[in-house]
């Protein structure tokens, strides 16, 4: 798995840097694990646009991902590693010993034919899902539950991971991808390793058209709008702007939006670096 830079035969390919997709083993998804996606174009149930800059895009099917990994103590074999249009990471199709097939988030370094397992007593090897109480300290993990049996919430995007720092009683301290240190119950599950497609952040689309394929429409800056449309709009020529803020007037750049009395704040040991 790596990147490839194309020859500039067209203007759109001059700065294009994309994945070489050598880690992908098949282009055909498992039909039993597909679900339809209905595009809204940013409109609500009355047809009113509530989210701007959305619309178009290629037709997609949703891949049903197993974030819970609740088939404990049943070994599974990795059959394929596939592209998923709905996320930045790769996904892996695994076949359990009882015949059931499921998609999981593919960890970095997993291979076709590899055996994985989840549950109590599993070995701390790449792709295995364990309770945090059984994972060795210092281990790199991903697909982390916030509450037991809820399913993975943290460290699911390409190249992300957390690290298990310590355990004290019923809580463990994890260093999250954001740099935040947080307490999580040791009865929660996590998967060993880091998420695949680690070079995703280095990719460059090369042209606006690739954003349109993904359903993203051109984003209009607030300073070029009229005063009726945005707090930063209006003015003659470039004499507009003011303090950076959203369309609703909420300041950007340094304004804290987290609720000061949020219940979960007591589980944060160290805040993320600014």
**CATH number where 93 lies:** 2.40.50.140
Residue 231 forms part of a structural domain = yes
Query: What is the DSSP track for 42-90?
Result: TB-TTS-B-STTB------EEE-B-SS---TT--EEEEEEE--TTSSS-
Tell me the pLDDT tens digit for each residue of 79-106: 999 999 999 999 999 999 999 999 999 9
Mark which of 185, 201, 217 sits at the end of a domain. Answer: 201
Total domain count, the chain: 2
> Is 211 a member of any domain?
no
Confidence at residue 1, expressed as pLDDT on a 0 to 100 scale: 67
Residue 112: give the domain boundaries. 3-201
In a domain, 218, yes or no: no
Query: Within a domain: residue 36?
Result: yes
Last residue of a domain, one of 153, 186, 201: 201
- CA 180 to CA 167: how far, in whole Å? 16
In a domain, 215, yes or no: no
Tens of pLDDT along 25-70? 999 999 999 999 999 999 999 999 999 999 999 999 999 999 999 9
Is residue 214 in some structural domain?
no
Q: Are residues 132 and 241 in the same domain?
A: no
Confidence at 2, pLDDT banded by 50, 70, 90: confident
Q: Do 196 and 232 share a domain, yes or no?
A: no
pLDDT tens per residue, range 193-211: 999 999 999 999 999 999 9
CA–CA separation, 97 vs 78, rounded Å? 11
Nearest to 143 by CA among 192, 70, 182, 85: 192
């Amino acid at each position: 798995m790596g990147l490839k830079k194309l020859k500039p035969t067209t203007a759109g390919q001059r700065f294009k840097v994309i994945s070489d997709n050598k880690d992908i083993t098949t282009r055909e998804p498992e039909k039993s694990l597909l679900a339809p996606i209905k595009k809204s174009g940013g409109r609500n149930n009355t047809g009113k646009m509530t989210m701007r800059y959305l619309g178009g895009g290629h037709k997609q099917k949703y891949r049903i991902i197993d974030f819970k990994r609740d088939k404990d103590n049943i070994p599974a074999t990795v059959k394929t590693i596939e592209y998923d249009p709905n996320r930045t990471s790769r996904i892996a199709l695994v076949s359990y010993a009882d015949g059931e097939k499921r998609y999981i988030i593919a960890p970095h370094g997993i291979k076709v034919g590899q055996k994985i397992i989840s549950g109590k007593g599993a070995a701390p090897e790449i792709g295995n899902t364990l309770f945090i109480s059984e994972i060795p300290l210092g281990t790199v993990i991903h697909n982390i539950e916030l509450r037991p049996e809820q399913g993975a919430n943290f460290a699911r995007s390409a190249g992300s991971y957390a690290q298990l720092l310590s355990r004290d009683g019923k809580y463990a301290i994890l260093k999250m991808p954001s740099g935040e240190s947080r307490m999580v119950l040791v009865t929660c599950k996590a998967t060993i390793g880091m998420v695949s497609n680690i070079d995703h952040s280095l990719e460059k689309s090369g042209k606006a058209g690739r954003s349109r394929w993904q359903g993203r429409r051109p984003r209009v800056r607030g300073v070029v709008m009229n005063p009726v449309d945005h707090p930063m709009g209006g003015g003659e020529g470039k004499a507009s702007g003011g303090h950076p803020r959203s369309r609703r007037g909420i300041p950007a750049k340094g304004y804290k939006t987290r609720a000061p009395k949020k219940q979960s704040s007591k589980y944060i040991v160290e805040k993320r670096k600014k």
